Chain A
Amino acid sequence: QVQLVQSGAEVKKPGASVKVSCKASGYTFTGYYMHWVRQAPGQGLEWMGWINPNSGGTNYAQKFQGRITMTRDTSISTAYMELSSLRSDDTAVYYCASEEVFQNWFDPWGQGTLVTVSS
């Protein structure tokens, strides 16, 4: 079945970087945009950006410009999101979510990866 499986929880110190992976299975990886969305504890959903796995093209939310990098490895159907210069308010669950080209909705979603930023 179509699914996204993310890497495990991370604990990072302020100023460090984190790289979260998202492995796709059950569909053609290059036919779906991969979005990243985060959710701080007790808060709502915040869109971070997308990557086109076919071309490698990206589109980042203004808020994260300069701190975020999305990449992919098509040979293993995996997308990555790296966030640098971490702060305590980056503590959140990070989700990947796929969007079939021209479908305009997110389905499926990964299970989420908790990133905790603490000294």
Chain B
Amino acid sequence: DIQMTQSPSSLSASVGDRVTITCRASQTISNYLNWYQQKPGKAPKLLIYFASSLQSGVPSRFSGSGSGTDFTLTISSLQPEDFATYYCQQSYTTPRTFGQGTKVEI
């Protein structure tokens, strides 16, 4: 199975900060990497697919980059509604493994 490792596991930030979350795959996955946002008590929501494509309706302050094994999710200017947990997921093969999550807190 492909292991997905996110860092950090949690971070504290303020409104307006630039936030970067990294995700590393245990083997190459090309650009088959998705990012999801999850708020407490809610289902995950797709933010980014194919490593860098922004899902329709997602604010442009979210961006993704990377290919191969190393990927990044960036929030250019953190907003109050962005405090949540973020997960990466590889869709290169099954099982479709997720990272352990990164909790973004105030």
Across the interface, B43 reaches (CB within 8 A) one of A44, A59, A61, A110, namely A110
A9-45, CB under 8 A of B: which get 1 and which 0?
Answer: 0000000000000000000000000010100000011
Find out whether the CB atom of A111 lies under 8 angstroms from the CB atom of B43. yes
Q: Is the CB of B43 within 8 A of A95?
A: yes
Name B's interface SS. Answer: loop
Residues of A within 8 A of B96 (CB): 35, 47
> Is the beta-carbon distance between A61 and B95 smaller than 8 angstroms?
yes
Q: How large is the interface on A (under 10, 10 to 19, 20 to 34, 35 or more residues)?
A: 20 to 34
Using A104-B91, A107-B55 as known contacts, say yes or no to A47 and B43 having CB atoms under 8 A apart: no
For the complex, is B94 an interface residue (Cβ under 8 Å from A)? yes
Q: Which residues of A contact B (CB under 8 A)?
A: 35, 37, 44-47, 50, 59, 61-62, 95, 97, 103-107, 109-112
* Chain B residues near A (Cβ < 8 Å): 32, 34, 36, 38, 43-46, 49-50, 55, 87, 89, 91, 94-101
The 29 sampled A-B contact pairs (Cβ below 8 Å) are A44-B87, A44-B101, A45-B44, A45-B89, A45-B98, A47-B94, A47-B95, A47-B96, A47-B97, A50-B94, A62-B95, A95-B44, A104-B34, A104-B49, A104-B91, A105-B34, A105-B46, A105-B49, A105-B91, A106-B34, A106-B44, A106-B89, A107-B46, A107-B55, A109-B43, A109-B44, A109-B45, A110-B43, A111-B43
